[in-house]
């Protein structure tokens, strides 16, 4: 597609469950980013991929969070043992190379009940 696509757009899960959030970047973009946005806040960096490898995962809050990008295109953000505090909008972005304009998807709104 023309833009960054994220699925699902909304996800409600029970506390303690495992969830996967998917991101399809713009075709040809080598850099991919995950951000988390809480209500009333700006996006906060989680992890950044250059190709298949995680170039910077310093924003992942703890070891319950993990992300992969096995073929250098689609990425999956995985959250284990979800907690209510994980509720937020998870945004994915991509760019043609790191440090240039990043284009965002519409986000996945995760609600942990």
Partner 1 sequence: GQQLNQSPQSMFIQEGEDVSMNCTSSSIFNTWLWYKQDPGEGPVLLIALYKAGELTSNGRLTAQFGITRKDSFLNISASIPSDVGIYFCAGQPTYGGSQGNLIFGKGTKLSVKP
Task: Output the six-digit token pair for 54.
Answer: 């995680």
25 belongs to the binding site for partner 1 (CB under 8 A): no
110 belongs to the binding site for partner 1 (CB under 8 A): no
Cα–Cα separations (whole angstroms), residue 109 to 9, 73, 97: 6, 22, 27
25 burial class (0-12, 13-18, 19+ CB within 10 angstroms)? buried
65 belongs to the binding site for partner 1 (CB under 8 A): no
Nearer to partner 1, 2 or 14 (CB): 2
40 belongs to the binding site for partner 1 (CB under 8 A): yes
Side-by-side strand order, sheet with 19-24:
5-7, 19-24, 75-79, 65-68
Choosing from 13, 20, 56, 72, the residue that interacts with partner 1 (CB under 8 A) is 56
Rounded Cα–Cα distance for residues 62 and 35 (Å): 14
- Binding range to partner 1, per CB under 8 A, among 12-20, 47-55, 67-75, 76-84: 47-55
Binding site for partner 1 (CB under 8 A): 4, 6, 31, 33, 35, 40-45, 48-50, 55-56, 58-59, 91, 93, 98-107
């Amino acid at each position: 597609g023309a833009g960054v696509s994220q699925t699902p757009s909304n996800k409600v899960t029970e506390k303690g469950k495992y969830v996967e959030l998917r991101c399809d970047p713009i075709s040809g973009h080598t850099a991919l980013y995950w951000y988390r946005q809480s209500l009333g806040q700006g996006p906060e960096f989680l992890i950044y991929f250059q190709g298949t490898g995680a170039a910077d995962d310093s924003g992942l809050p703890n070891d319950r969070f993990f992300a992969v990008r096995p073929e250098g295109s689609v990425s999956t953000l995985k959250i284990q043992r979800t907690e209510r505090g994980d509720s937020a909008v998870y945004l994915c972005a991509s760019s043609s190379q790191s440090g240039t304009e990043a284009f965002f998807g519409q986000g996945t709104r995760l609600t942990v009940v």
